[in-house]
Amino acid sequence: MKTHKFFMFAIVSSLLLLGSEQPSAYAQPYYDNFNLTEIDLGLSGSQTLKEWYDAESSYTGNGTYFSAYITLPVGDDLYIGLGTARAGEEDGAYLAKFDGSALSGIGDLDEQGFHEMIWDGSLVHIAGSDPTDDHTAGNHYTYQPGGSLTKYRDASNGLPNVVHSWGLWQSGNTLYEAASTYDNCASGDLCGQIFSSTDDGETWTKESDLGEYRAYDIFEFNGSLYAIYNDEYKNPLTLAKSTDNGKTWNDIPGLTENIRRVHIIEFNNELLVVSWDRAKIYSLDASDNISTHNLPSLYKVGASYSATHYSDYNIMAVADGYLYLIAEEQGGAKHAIIRTTDLSNWEWTTNTNEKLTSLSYWENKNWLVTCTAGTNAKLLKIELQGTPSAVTMTSFQARNQGVTLWKVAAFLLSTSVLGFLKSKKWRN
């Protein structure tokens, strides 16, 4: 009789343990105020963003990779950089504007996609990601609100033989650009170069070579310029510093050939770059001291793509003392938006089964803005009004480890029961 009671207790316990609902390895949306919701762009009927792009621009969006690869909030307007596909892959880029109620078109760019767009206080500046004209010169675009889109292209006084322009920075009256070129490279046929302009990108002056392959981004921090570059195709990047307005550069020790192709950003008075393996963030203080910050386990910055890394570019944003970033949940095929105030303690906000291609903070709306890709690409928002709550990821992972132990115990118990059933003692 005792044996029968033990047997029944063990079976019921095992079923309860194995079948009970417990937190999974990936967080689920607990809070409505962090839900990703589609932005109503005021499109007619059931028209999708891609259908609008196909109709308004001279291009046809790729069914897998069409998306908004950068968004730039300026006051009550949101400028949207739409790309046929991932930048550098297919012809097609288009500048649009959303005023909070309706989407309107501004104009085509003669480029393969969108990488960089900044606001200087009066003009929107757009870097020419990959000219479709030819590579005798790089392109630079400006847009004045209420005016027209202007393209600057000059093989002599502009950006000679530039094939890619992926980073812009405005410092006072000077506009800086990080570019890749075939022009007079000291290291060979192709190299990265730094240019400057004092007339809003109409003409440019070469400041220096930087990198034997490409220079990707440029950023001012604590009175100096910083840039990321690499020496070989698809190799990790290096962070370099210039104290003479881009004329000469020195690598930052500890940040050589270990950085990802993601925009440089400033947060909590530190400069941030992403590690090549996407599992860490490196921070640099005013004295160039480096700190390493690991992401929560099971998460990596940005998205993984089989062909290129080019789309991992505009995926971090700062809002109300938080750093928000797009992260990929490893093994779960989901993209999450996670946040932190100190780079050590992370919180999970929401996730989706679709790839997210860009992230920005629209201060006037108090929205985070992101976008999915493909035929059904959608511009999405997270409203940050009030004091939203989020899941603390360290405690979440601790709970998940507890769940794992819980299920292991259940498995062992059920295995013991099966072993007992097979034994001669039970048969007797």
Residue pLDDT, tens place only, 266-311 = 999 999 999 999 999 999 999 999 999 999 988 999 987 655 555 5
How confident is residue 409, by pLDDT bands cut at 50, 70 and 90? very low
CA–CA distance, 384 with 355 (Å, rounded to integer): 21
Q: What is the pLDDT of residue 33?
A: 56
**Which of 263, 266, 267 shows the shortest CA–CA distance to 224?**
266
Query: Is the predicted pLDDT of residue 31 greater than 50, yes or no?
Result: no
CB atoms within 10 A of CB 235: 13
In the predicted model, is pLDDT for residue 38 greater than 70? yes
pLDDT at 306: 59
Please say if the pLDDT value at position 386 is more than 50.
yes
pLDDT band of 198, cuts 50, 70, 90? very high
Q: Provide mean pLDDT across the span 23-50.
A: 72
Range of 13-17, 57-61, 301-305, 392-396 with top mean pLDDT: 57-61
- Percent of the chain predicted with pLDDT > 70: 81
The pLDDT of residue 274: 96
Lowest mean pLDDT among 31-40, 81-90, 135-144, 418-427: 418-427
Q: What is the pLDDT of residues 351-385, one digit of tens each?
A: 999 999 999 999 999 999 999 999 999 999 999 97
Q: Does 401 have pLDDT greater than 60?
A: no
Give the DSSP per-residue string, 224-268: EEEEEEESSTTPPBEEEEESSTTSS-EE-TT-SS-B-S---EEET
Determine the longest span between alpha carbons in the chain, in angstroms: 97
pLDDT at 206 over 80: yes
